[in-house]
Structure 1
Amino acid sequence: MRLPRGLPGRAGQPVSLCGVFQVLGIERETEEHYYYNLVEVPGFADLKERVIFDWGKAAISWHQWLRPEVGKTVLEIQPKPFSQPFTDYLDFTLSFAELTQLVTSQSPRDEWCRMLSATAGVYLILDQSSGKQYIGSASGTEGIWGRWKDYVATRGHGGNVELVKLLAADAQHGRHFQFTVLMTLPKTMTRPEVIKREYLFMKKLGSRAHGLNQKASHEQ
């Protein structure tokens, strides 16, 4: 068992699962120790380092008897880590499912979080069911990462008017969304300057006339 990284204090001693093993017998013994022959039981690899449970008060004991009438309390099952490596801001697309997994599994120390938090920018959301596009921008202290977290928290719409309508008609419509970065910008750039770049991409890609950006009042 291992102590989980970054887990806040809890009652008892939290540990993470490092595997399930069958004891085949005693391999050798000394006056003070027994050495067991262990073989890992298949079928639990997906849960390694993700299942966190209460080891109990015997924190200094590396082993305990598992008694069915007592058992061990599972404190949480952590999300699967996001496996796709970050290579460059313009090298990737993320489905909404992938973005959700990314946001729920990353900590501030992890690369995707660090890199997307480090920059402002202009991004595109493609509705793969219709081909329509939404152009958005991100600034502020958390940059693109902070803005994209909003989409996960709102099941995909992020407060954008046309996306809200799609989610109102179909609560699972976010499954069709694909996210990508069009341009990175320094976080020192003012919000009006960032929006100016956003509007330029709206014009280039026609996302107001034919996409999911709300039309300006003079266009309606």
Structure 2
Amino acid sequence: MEIFLNEIFNIVANEYKDWTICLNNANEEGIYSFEENESRLLEHISWKKHRNSTTSFRNIYTRYCLQFIRLDRDKKYNQWLFLGAFEICGVINFDDGHQVYDLRKMDLFNQYSERLIIEYSKKQGPKQAKIGIENIETIKVVSILEKKYVKTSYLFEGYHKVSLPFLELKKIVMGNVDNWRILLENVNCIYSIVDETNGKIYIGSTYNKNGTWNRWSEYVYTNGHGNDCELKQLVERQPDYAKSFRFSIIEVFLNKDDTSPYILERERYWKEVFRSKIFGYNDN
């Protein structure tokens, strides 16, 4: 069942005039937590005008704002982490000409700060920095984390040792963990997904310019099924079913110029080895 943002926040319509929704692209440092670096994150979300610019990056005319930051730095999956509700107490001018808003964090909705994740696709291009509060009625809530979002760091021990439970893969992808992202972007592979509740296996392959990272990100942002037919049926019946999946690399292609026909030939070979069309989740 879909849950929309205002089912959580319950801002009444006659208060819409007081609110703006602010959308911030991820910062270069990958900071998503005020505990990690409060001053840097606050500077990032409060930016109004660049120095030497005649126009503002973002004009906010309301008293309050809801601040979100994009989780996927490559701007593909449109998921945003809620950072909090803020009162706008003015504008701070700096000697070099740049301006920031004087934001004061409120207690309102604080229980969801750095825990609530929404899905929203920008309608006015990648630089769109704000949207009207009325969108709160149609913005979907993806998840509410048990604890505050943490950008995790995992040791990458080699392609031959990549075997991840889905929940760990999800943390790596949503945390945009640099060492994993870079290394998985640079190769294509044959991979397996094992259902640890019954031992059934799915065999898949990647053959695109963004490599394994791109394909495995699709699994994360589709709640584990990646639009694979039989996996999708499992997840649709039980939304948290993917927590029983384990993702592993079987064969890696270090040369990304390897042609898709060759990779698909190797995929067919591994499907035959594991008999995954007969005993597993492959339907072709």
Task: State if a TM-score over 0.5 links the two structures.
Answer: yes
Aligned pair partner of 2:171 in 97, 101, 108:
101
Letter in 2 for 1:194: I
C-alpha distance in 2 between matches for 1:5 and 1:72: 10
- TM-score between the two structures when normalised by the length of structure 1: 0.66
Matched, 1:201 2:270: yes
| Unmatched runs of 5 consecutive residues or more in structure 2 | 1-37, 50-66, 68-81, 95-102, 115-147
| Distance change (3 Å), C-alpha of 1:139 and 1:7 | farther
C-alpha distance in 1 between matches for 2:191 and 2:213: 11
CA RMSD of aligned residues (A): 3.2
Q: Which residue does the alignment assign to 1:187?
A: 256
Aligned pair partner of 2:193 in 122, 125, 131:
125
- Aligned partner of residue 193 in structure 2, secondary structure: strand
C-alpha distance in 2 between matches for 1:194 and 1:72: 52
Dislocated runs of 4+, deviation >3 Å = 4-12, 50-60
Letter in 2 for 1:72: K
Deviations 1:85-129 (A, max 9, x none): 11201113211111111111116xx11000000001100100001
- Aligned partner of residue 144 in structure 1, secondary structure: helix
| Distance change (3 Å), C-alpha of 1:5 and 1:101 | farther
Are the equivalent residues in 2 in contact too, given 1:79–1:104 (CA < 8 A)? no
The structure that is helix-richer by fraction is 2
Matched, 1:92 2:129: no
C-alpha distance in 2 between matches for 1:166 and 1:182: 23
Q: Which residue does the alignment assign to 1:149?
A: 217
Letter in 1 for 2:157: T
Q: Which residue does the alignment assign to 2:230?
A: 162
| Unmatched runs of 5 consecutive residues or more in structure 1 | 15-49, 61-69
Shift of 1:136: 0.3
Deviations 1:28-77 (A, max 9, x none): xxxxxxxxxxxxxxxxxxxxxx96897974587xxxxxxxxx94258x63
Q: Which residue does the alignment assign to 1:72?
A: 105
C-alpha distance in 1 between matches for 2:43 and 2:93: 18
C-alpha distance in 1 between matches for 2:249 and 2:161: 9
Q: Which residue does the alignment assign to 1:47?
A: none
| Distance change (3 Å), C-alpha of 1:127 and 1:9 | same
C-alpha distance in 2 between matches for 1:6 and 1:131: 49
Q: Which residue does the alignment assign to 1:173?
A: 241
Shift of 1:164: 1.3
Shift of 1:9: 6.6
Aligned length: 168
Matched, 1:3 2:40: yes
